[in-house]
Structure formats: C-alpha cells, structure tokens
Structure 1
Amino acid sequence: MNKKYHLFEVYGIELEYMLINKATFKVAPKVDTLLTKKNGSLTSDIDNGLIAWSNELVGHVVELKTNGPTPQLNHLSEAFHKNIIEINSLLDTEGLQLLPTASHPLMNPLTDTQLWKHSYSEVYELYNRIFDCKGHGWSNVQSTHINLPFFDDKEFEKLHAAIRVILPLIPGLCASSPILEGQNTGFKDTRLEYYKTNQKEIPEMTGLVIPERAFTKLDYYTTIFEPIKKAIKPKDINGILDHHFLNSRGAIARFDRNAIEIRLVDIQECPQSDLAICILIIETLKLLVNKQLAPLSMQKQWTKEDLFAIFNPIIKEGEHYKVSNIDYLQLFKLEEACTVNDIWKHFYQLTKASIDASHYHAIETILNQGTLATRILQAIAHDYSDTNIKTVYSQLAQCLQTNTVFSV
C-alpha cells in the first residue's frame, strides 16, 4: 500500500526529453541503447539516486522523474541537471544528444516515429491500433508532469477545485511548441492543440481537457472513469488498459497513489526553468487551496465548458491573450480584463515571498520576455530555413546542457 500524504507535503516531478542525432538533427529512437549503456543490460526503469529514468511510448523519448515523492523542490533543478549531463555523456559516443522543448521543430512523425519495442510494448501496440500513434500529438510531445498528493476526499475536493480553475492559464506560462515541420503553426502551444483531439476515436478519454466537476472519489469514478471503461471495452477485449492511464485530461486523479497529476505543462529549455514554473504553479495552488483568493464554493462552480472557453484561445495566443471574463478573474481577486501574462505577474507578486530566490531569474525571464515559445519565435526572426531552426534549437540544447535560461 502506498503511503498517503497530505496536501503539499511531497511532490513528484517528471520531465521528458527527446534524443536527437547531432549530425542530422533527426530524432533518434535509441532510448533502449541509452538505458542499456547505463544499466549494462536493457531495462525500462533505472534508479539513479534522487532521479529515475524510464522509457516512453516512442523510442526517442526518455523520462526523468523524482525517484518517489520528495518533500523538497529547491534542489531538484541541480539533481535533474546532473542526470542530463550524465545522459548526454553516455549519448555522446553514439553521436546523439538530448533536445529540450515540447516538440521537435523539424520531425516528420509519419517517417520518424518508432514505438518502444520492449517491455510493456503490448500496451503501446494496442494504443497504436486504436489511435495510430504516428501523429505529432503522440510521437512529438514532451511535457512536464506535476504530481500533488491528497490524503482523503476532503483534501481531494480542495486540490481538484484549485487545479481545475488554474489549468486554463498554464499554456500562458510555459508554451514551448510554436514550430512543427519547419513552420510557425500559429499556436504558442501546438502540443496542447494536438492534445485536445489526440484521442478523438474515444472522446471520453480526454473530454474537454479541463476535468469535470468531480470532487469525491465516488463522484470521479462515476463521472470520469466509468464512461472511459465503457468506451474502451470493445477495443480492449483482453482488459489490459488501466483506467488511470486512459484518463487523458489536463489533470488526472491517480487514486492508486492518492495524487493528482497536472499534464498541461510544456517542457522548457532547462530544469532551472521547469522547476521555477512548477514552483510558481504550486505556490499559486496553495493560495487557492488555503482560500486566500476565492472561497472553495466559488472555485467549484466553474464548469469544464466555461473553463475550456478561456483555455482554448490561450493555447493559441499564450501569454498575450486578454482574459475578459470578470467572474473568472474575480477568482484571483482581479477586477478588470487583463492578459494572461498580467495574471501570472499577479500570482508571482502574491507568492514571491514563499519562493526560494534561486527561482526568481527563471520566473522573471518568462514574465518579462515571454513564454519560451515567444522567445523561440523571436530568435527565429521569421527565418524558417532548416539551417536557422537548427541553429536556434542547438542553442536550446546548449541551455539544457548548462542549465541556463534562454534569453533573447
């Protein structure tokens, strides 16, 4: 039985990275080679002290995660960075390296995708049969996941209510996927644009991305899990898929480990930025959970449809989108229409005293210079030649290697 924790007592952070070939810049489905080099024989999970490594659905993506729940977030940027340096040095002999950001800017998913072929592959094969996992939304996505614990229904209610109302704003803080196949997609967060319709074959799995108003375990099972189980049954005749994994909303309740996992965060250029974003989100959630902004009843009344109406344009415009729904803004003690960037600046002012000073630079770069998507587009400066895109993304790979915030 997993130990149960109270709100904000521990955290789990997961970061996904793609492997690329240094010479060609193409994605390299060689995570099995990496894990074999590290372990001596092929394994899908590696325990490396504070951080664990594992494979993902596709052969070119590796996940680094906190090795179990951790009470401390401030040291994690360094811990992740240490593992990145180690991975890059293992990859170097193969002519490969890690690349950050939520999507590869030049990948052709139809020709470049290889699914993970080893352990757990029967699950991936079934996913592939149902959804055809060769599109950008499956094979060209890297994200950061934030896992937050709850002890019981009472804590779940507060945490789920707070997370639901903040989800729409997340792309305006961390969008990092503006370019696909060498083109500006017109979306700051193209990963999330794909996320919305990725599982259209079984719409019950993603819903409207923003979860339904379910505030107890029983409620959640009835509203979310049961429809998913029913919808998947004809496709999963052997019953190998778990409803916890099938739920693909932007935040998912994991009752198997008493946690909610936030999945809308695009991965950044380096762990310093990733952890700064996670901490700002967590500190903002604390304000909501502790009723320092809107009361719980007010947070709970927001429907998924109303929240989605705010979320959807932010996927496209990112931090520049102007939120004009005053009722929504009043959740955060804001009284007039303002941009998503202004809202995050407001949250930062309210939480800054609770945030370790080591995170200020990364947060302030985002709030003053824009999301990573905005900074990437500025650096590209309308030159979408492969050569220029590779130049800019090589700088991002260097930011990852040195754990440096990307500034334009």
Structure 2
Amino acid sequence: MNNRLHLFQAYGVELEYMIVDKESLAVKPVTDLLFKKITGDFVGDVENGVITWCNELVLHVVELKCTQPEHNLSKLLVEFQENITQVNAHLEEFGAMLLPTAAHPLMDPAKNTFLWPHDNNEIYAAYNKIFNCHGHGWSNLQSTHLNLPFYDDEEFAGLHAAIRLVLPILPALAASSPILGGKDTGFLDKRLDYYQKNQKVVPSITGKVIPERAFSKRQYHKLIYDRIAQDIAPHDTTNILQPVWLNSRGAIARFDRGSIEIRLLDIQECPQADMAIVGLIIVLLKMLVNEELISAHEQQQWEVQPLNDIFQETVKYAENTIITNQEYLKIFGIESQSATAKKVWDRIIALAEKAYPKEMEPLMPPLKVISEQGTLATRILHSLSGEYSTENIKLVYRELSDCLRYNEMFQVWIKEQS
C-alpha cells in the first residue's frame, strides 16, 4: 500500500495505432514480426525506456504506453513522439507505417482481422468465441486511455464521482471515427457506438458505459464485478475471463493497482493533440475533486441514466450536441436552458485557464484548433467535402499519417480564416 500513488501524483497514458501498408493503406498484420525484429522472439511487449510497446488483441495494432506512471506530461509528449518515429523506422522494412484516428476508414474486419496468436492468446480466443472479434468494435478501433491514481476509498470516491460527470462529454472533445467502410456513418464517434454494443451478449460487462454510483471498493465489487462474474460464467466454462479484465465501462476501477482508467477517448492525429486533451481532462477532474465547481455530495448524486442520455447524443453529434439538461449545464456555470457541447468545453477551458494557468498554457495551441475547427471527426468530414471515393479517403488519411509522423495538428479551415 505504501507504494500507491495519491490523486494526481502521476498518470498512465496509452496510445493505440494501426499498422498499415505505406502505399495502399491496407491493414498490415505484422505486430508480432515487428516485435520479433527488435527482440528476436515473439513477445507481447517491448520496453523502450519511458515508453513500452505492446500488442492489443490483433496483429495490426501497436499500443504505446507509459512504462511507469509519469507526472510530467510535456516529457511524455516528447517520449511518445520519439517512439512513434522509432516504430515507423522499424516498419519501413515491412513497407508499413502507423496510421492515427480511432478507426480505419476502409477496413473490412471480417476479412482483415488476425488475432494475436502468441502469449495470452487463450484469453483472446475466449473473447473471440463469445463475442466474435472480427468486427469494427473489436478489430477496427484505436483509443487513448488515461489512468489516474487513487490511494484509498476516500480518494476513489472523489475521483470516481468526478470522472462519471466528465465521461458523457468526452466524445465532444475527442471524436475521430466518422468513416467506416468508405462511408459517412452518421456518427462522429462511431467507435464508441460499437464499443457500447459489441458485448451485448453479456450486458453487464459494459453496462450503460457510465459507471454505476459506486464510491467504495465494496460497492464497486457488489454493483459491477460480482454481476459480471455471475453473468459471464455460463459463457466461460474454462473460467479464464476475470471480471477485472472484462469490465468495459467508460471508466474502469483497478483496485489491485489503485487507478481508474478512462477509455472513451478516440485517438487523435498526433501526440500533441492527445496530450492536450489528456491534460485538459486532468485539470477538469482536479477542479471537480477539489469541489471548485460543485460539492462532492452533489457529484455523487448523479444517476447513470441522465449522464448516459447526454453520452448517447455526443457519440453521434460530438461538439454539435445540444445539451438540454440544465442541472448538468449548471455544473460548469452555464445558466442557459440549453447549450452545445462545444460551448460547454469552451467554458471548461476558460475555467481551467483561470484556475490552473501554468498547466493549461502548453495545452492551448492544440485545444484552440479543436475549439475553432471542431473535433478531428468534424475536420475529417470537412476535408472529404462529401466525396467518399476510395481515392479521396486515402488522400485525407495519408495526410493524417503525416500529421502523426511530424506531430502536427490536422487543420482544414486555414484558407477560409486567412
């Protein structure tokens, strides 16, 4: 227990990227070969100093994550970009490169999914048997995960209450998956639409995405983990799938390591965008945990359903969502009968700049792009201009791969603004 971190002492960040062919942009299932090239063996992870490279279910995804929790987000940004450069250099041998965004716009998961066949493959095989992982919600999704520490039940209660309030509006900041199968899906965050439905065989695994009102380890186990264990048992005769792994809510509590992991962020076009979003979320959670916006008691009173109602809208409309829950708007000092999710985030950014100017200053350039030009999903659609030919889609996503390579924001309105 003495080694556990307290609130906001350090953070764990995970970035997932797809490996694609440099010419065709087709998915390239070579993660195991990439790791073998580096280590000489088929391993599940490669430790590279501050950042560790990992496999993630399928052979065409690489996850880059903090080797240890890190407090300095600016340092993490530099390290992530250096590791992206290194991965891309190694992928040259395979005629491949990393592709950002939360979903490949042209992938056919029924034909192009190859599950990880090496260590831990029995777990993946069990998942596949129950849920069929050859689908967009499994093999065609890349996300950013943010892990935040807590020391004990008291810290867990404050952090979990705050995170529950933030989850519904995260797609309005981070949506990046509007295109699947070469078509506009009608959702700016189609990844999350699949995410909440892809385990419906056992509904308690995902619940309503927004976690239940659990504010202690005992409550959490009773309301969430015990239900998952009971419901998965008929499907998992080998007893290999544990509730702590299965839990797929938008934020999951890991009491074994004293952290809550936020899982609702679509990955962006480059690390500076991801780390700006992560940094803003951390500052917002600080304001909530410190009761600078509303009291902890008020935060804990929020039921799942009204938060889920907002979430369903932001999954589809992202920053364009019109939020009509006046009590929710009042949390952020908005007294209107309704407001767009963009207005809510603009208000949050203004509050965060005032309360934590030093932390917010380096985040503002990428946040300004998101605020002025929209989520990455909106920018992708704007760039496509309604033309969904394979050639046009590839043109846009090649530009996105360049953004990742050079750590640059994807901007599409520059000419109109000049």
TM value normalised by structure 1? 0.99
Q: What is the aligned partner in structure 2 of residue 330 from structure 1?
A: 330
Could you give the per-residue CA deviations for residues 311-353 of structure 1, whole angstroms, max 9, x where no partner exists? Answer: 1011100101111111111122221121111111111111121
User: Comparing 97-106 with 73-82, which one deviates more in the overlay?
Assistant: 73-82
Cα contact 1:283–1:354 (8 A) shared by 2: no
Which AA in structure 2 matches 1:363?
A: L
The equivalent residue for 2:416 is: none
Q: Distance in 2 between matches of 1:306 and 1:293?
A: 19
Deviations 1:3-40 (A, max 9, x none): 21110011000000000011221111110011111222
CA distance in 1, matches of 2:146, 2:202: 25
Tell me the equivalent position of 1:310: 310
After superposition, give the CA deviation of every residue in 1:81-121 in whole Å (9 maximum; x if it has no partner).
10000000100121000000000000001001111111100
Q: Secondary structure at the match of 1:351?
A: helix
The aligned runs of 1:204-215 (5 Å cut-off) are 204-215=204-215
Q: Distance in 2 between matches of 1:262 and 1:57?
A: 19
| Corresponding residue number in structure 2 for 1:102 | 102
Q: Which one-letter code corresponds to 2:346 in the other structure? A: K
Partner of residue 385, structure 1: 389
- Displacement of 1:357: 2.8
Equivalent residue number for residue 408 of structure 2: 404
Matched, 1:88 2:88: yes
**Which amino acid in 2 is paired with 1:349?**
A
Q: Match of 2:205, SS?
A: coil
Sequence identity, in percent?
50
Partner of 2:348: 347
- Secondary structure at 1:71 match in 2: coil
Instruction: State the distance in 2 between where 1:349 and 1:42 align.
Output: 48
Structure 2 partner of 1:58? 58
Q: Tell me, yes or no, if the aligned pair for 1:175 and 1:266 is still in contact at 8 Å.
A: yes
Q: Is the 8 A contact 1:2 1:257 kept in 2?
A: no
Deviations 1:203-251 (CA, angstroms, capped at 9, x unpaired) = 0100000000000000000000000000111222222112111100000
1:157 is matched with: 157
Q: Paired residue for 1:140?
A: 140
Show CA shifts across 1:165-185 (max 9, x none): 110000000000000000000
The alignment partner of 1:282 has SS state of helix
Structure 2 counterpart of 1:47:
47
Which residue matches 2:399?
395
Q: Partners of 1:334 and 1:7 in 2: how far apart?
A: 28
Aligned residue for 1:272? Answer: 272
Structure 2 distance, partners of 1:43, 1:133, is 21
For 2:182 and 2:295, locate their aligned partners in 1 and report how far apart those are by CA, in whole Å: 46
- Aligned partner of 1:282 in structure 2 is 282
1:29 matched residue in structure 2: 29
| Per-residue Cα deviation, 1:129-152 (whole angstroms, up to 9, x for no partner) | 000001100000000000000011
Q: Is the 8 A contact 1:17 1:100 kept in 2?
A: yes
Letter in 1 for 2:372: N
3-state SS in 1 of match to 2:9 = coil
Q: Segments of 4+ in structure 1 off by > 4 A? A: none
AA in 2 matched with 1:373: A
Q: Does 1:249 find its partner at 2:249? A: yes
Structure 1, unpaired ranges of 5+? none
Q: Name the SS for the 1:225 alignment partner.
A: helix
User: Does the 8 Å contact 1:287/1:293 carry over to 2?
Assistant: yes
Does structure 1 residue 373 correspond to structure 2 residue 374? no
Q: CA deviation at 1:2?
A: 8.2
Task: Name which of structure 1's ranges 315-324 and 71-80 shifts more when overlaid on structure 2.
Answer: 71-80
How far did 1:356 drift? 4.7
Find the aligned partners of 2:362 and 2:119 in 1 and give their Cα distance. 39
Deviation at 1:358, TM superposition (A): 2.7
Instruction: Write out aligned runs for 1:155-234 (5 A).
Output: 155-234=155-234
Q: Is the CA contact (8 Å cut-off) linking 1:178 and 1:189 kept in structure 2?
A: yes
Quote how far apart the aligned CAs of 1:43 are: 1.2
Q: Is the 8 A contact 2:70 2:76 kept in 1?
A: no
Taking the aligned partners of 1:108 and 1:316, their CA distance within structure 2 comes to 22
Greater shift after overlay, 239-248 or 388-397? 239-248
Aligned residue pairs, count: 408
TM-score for the superposition, normalised by structure 2? 0.96
Counterpart secondary structure, 1:394? helix
Given that residues 109 and 140 in structure 1 are in contact (C-alpha distance below 8 angstroms), is that contact kept between their aligned partners in structure 2? yes
Counterpart of 2:117?
117
Q: Which residue of 1 aligns with 2:320?
A: 320
* TM superposition shift of 1:70: 1.0
Is it true that 1:359 corresponds to 2:363 in the alignment?
A: yes
Residue matched to 1:68: 68
Partners of 2:165 and 2:307 within 8 A in 1 = yes
> Does structure 2 conserve the Cα–Cα contact (< 8 Å) formed by 1:299 and 1:331?
no
3-state secondary structure, aligned to 1:52: strand
How do residues 285-296 of structure 1 correspond to structure 2 at under 5 angstroms?
285-296=285-296
Deviations 1:242-292 (A, max 9, x none): 211110000000111110000000000000100000000110010000000
**C-alpha contact 1:270 1:404 (8 A) present in aligned 2:** yes
Gaps of 5+ in 2: 413-418
What is the rounded CA distance, in whole Å, between the counterparts of 2:3 and 2:178 in structure 1?
40
